[in-house]
Amino acid sequence: MDNRSESEEITERDPLTGRATGGRIGGLEWRLSPEGAISHPDGTAYTSDELRELGNGVDWIGDRSAGDVDPAEIDLGQGVTWLHPEREQLLERLRHDLPVSPQRGIPFLAGTSDWDWWAVTRHADVMEVSRHPELFASGRGGTNIGDIPDEIAEFLGSIINMDAPRHTKIRRLISTGFTPKQVSSLEEAVARRARTIVDAIAEQGTCDVVRDIAAPLPLQVICDMMGIPAEDEQRMFELSNVILGFGDPEYVTTVGDLVSSGMELFQYGLGLAEQRLREPRDDIATALVHAEVDGERLTAAELGSFFVLLVVAGNETTRTAISHGILALSQHPEERAKWLADPVGVGPTAVEEIVRWASPVIHFRRTATADTELGDQRIAEGDRVVMLYLSANRDGTVFSEPDRFNVTRSANDHVAFGAGGPHFCLGANLARREIRVMFDELLTRLPDLTVTGEPDRLRSAFINGIKRMPAAFTPTR
C-alpha cells in the first residue's frame, strides 16, 4: 500500500493574480478553464454537474439492500456509498464482519482510485489507534485520506496535523485560549447570540434550520473569541465552507480555491496576531499571542495556521451537531417531550446524545509509523489508517440500542470529539455549551419547531453536514 508520491501539488498559476489554475491531487490532474470548469490533460472539460457525477464514483450496490451485499464488496471509496440511504447498515456490516477493511479511492474526488487506506469501524479499534500516537501518526501526510505535503498540512491544519513533541508544545500554548475561565467568559456572549438568532426568526413561522439557526451561532462565537469585527463574519463563513465542503461542487470546484481560501484565512489570522501584539485587547486572540509556556511563545505564523484550524474546526462541526439535533427531535417527538419536561435534568445527556447521533466529523486518519496489527489485520508502516467515528458511535458492543436517539442515554462513551488521544477536541466544552444554550433557547421559545422537508446533505465523507433544511413552528415574539 504505497502511493505516497501521488500527492497534491499546484503546477500552474495565473501570472497576474498568482491564483492556482492547474495542479494535481491524487491521480487527478486538473486545469481551470476560463469558464471555471476543470479539464483533464486529455482536453476533456467538466462542468461542476459532471464533476458531481464523476465524484459519485461507481454504483457498486445498485438496487440491492445493505443486507444483500458481501461485506468484502463494501466500497467506501465511492461517493455513492456515503450518499446511500442504508449507509449506517453498510457500516454495521463492516463492524461485524470486516472491522478493519482495505479501501481504495477518496470518496467524491474523481481520479483518486489508486489511494489505498484501511477503514477502522469498531469503537475499540478507533480507541486503539487514537491512543497510540507513537504508532499512528498525524504528521505524516496529514489527517485526511489523501496525503497532503507536509508544508501545506501544517499551514492548513496546524496542530491537528502535528505529532509530539511539536504538537505537545503548540497545543499547550493554544490551550491557554480554552481554559474553563476563557470558555466561561464567552457564556454571556453565547446566550446573547442565541437569543438574537431566535429573535430574528420567531415571528416568521418558518425558517431554514441551517442558514437561520445552526450556522450563525458557532461562527459568531469564534468571531467573539478572536475579536473579529461583525463586517468580516460573512467572509469567514464563506471561506470555511470552501475548505470543509471540498468535494461538494456547490462550494468548490478546484484545489486552487481550497488553497487560496486557506491562504486568505491564514493572512487574516496573521494580521489579527500582529494587531493584538501591538494593541492588546480583552479577547482570546490577545491571550494567545501573549501566552508563554516554558519561555516559548506562538510565532505569528503558528497563530495564523491555528486561526485556519479554529475557523474550520469550530464552525461546521457545531453547526452540524445543531442541525442534526433539530432533525432528530423532529423525528422523535417523544424524546423532545422528555427534554421539555425536564430541561435542567435532561440537558446534559441530551447534548451528548446529539453529538453522538450527529457524529459531525466522520473520520480522521493516521499513518502507521511501523508494521503493526489492528484487530486481526496486519498494517504496514506507511499505511493510511482511517478512524470512522461515525461508525464507532453506533457500535452495539458499546452502546445499548445504538440506532435509537435517546436523550437520557446515560453511559455515552461516544468518540465524536475524538477517542481520547492527544488530539482530543480542544473545543469540546465550548461546543457542548453552544449546543446546550441553543437548544434551551429553542425549546423555550419554539417548542414545536419541526423539520418540514428533506435535509439537503453535504457531499462529503469527512463532515456529516447538512446544507439546507426547511422547518416550521408556531410564530411567537
Give dist(CA 142, CA 266) in Å, integer. 18
Closer by beta carbon to ligand HEM, 93 or else 171: 171
User: Minimum distance from CB of 427 to ligand HEM (Å)?
Assistant: 2
Closer by beta carbon to ligand HEM, 214 or else 446: 214
Supply the DSSP string of 307-362, one letter for each residue: HHHHHHHTTHHHHHHHHHHHHHHHH-HHHHHHHHH-HHHHHHHHHHHHHHHH-SB-
User: Minimum distance from CB of 283 to ligand HEM (Å)?
Assistant: 13
* Residue 318 contacts ligand HEM per CB under 6 A: yes
* Residue 431 contacts ligand HEM per CB under 6 A: yes
CA geometry: angle 67, 335, 437, nearest 5 deg:
115
Residue nearest to ligand HEM (CB): 427
Closer by beta carbon to ligand HEM, 28 or else 351: 351
Helical pair 316-331 and 233-244, crossing angle rounded to 10 deg: 80
Q: What is the DSSP letter of 135?
A: T
* Residue 145 contacts ligand HEM per CB under 6 A: no
Provide the β-strand partners of residue 296.
293
Binding mask 148-187 for ligand HEM (x = CB under 6 A): -----------xx----------x----------------
Q: Which 378-417 residues touch ligand HEM, going by CB under 6 A?
A: 416-417
User: Minimum distance from CB of 195 to ligand HEM (Å)?
Assistant: 19
Q: Are 352 and 339 in contact (CB under 8 A)?
A: no
Give dist(CA 123, CA 208) in Å, integer. 34
* H-helix or E-strand spanning residue 52: helix 48-56
Compute how many residues bind ligand HEM; rule: CB under 6 A. Answer: 27
Among 37, 207, 285, 310, binds ligand HEM (CB under 6 A): 310
Among 287, 425, 446, 449, binds ligand HEM (CB under 6 A): 425
* Residue 424 contacts ligand HEM per CB under 6 A: yes
Give dist(CA 327, CA 142) in Å, integer. 32
Give dist(CA 306, CA 298) in Å, integer. 10
* Residue 252 contacts ligand HEM per CB under 6 A: no
Q: Please report, as ranges, the residues that interact with ligand HEM according to CB under 6 A.
A: 130, 159-160, 171, 222, 309-310, 313-314, 317-318, 321, 355, 360-361, 364, 416-418, 421, 423-427, 430-431
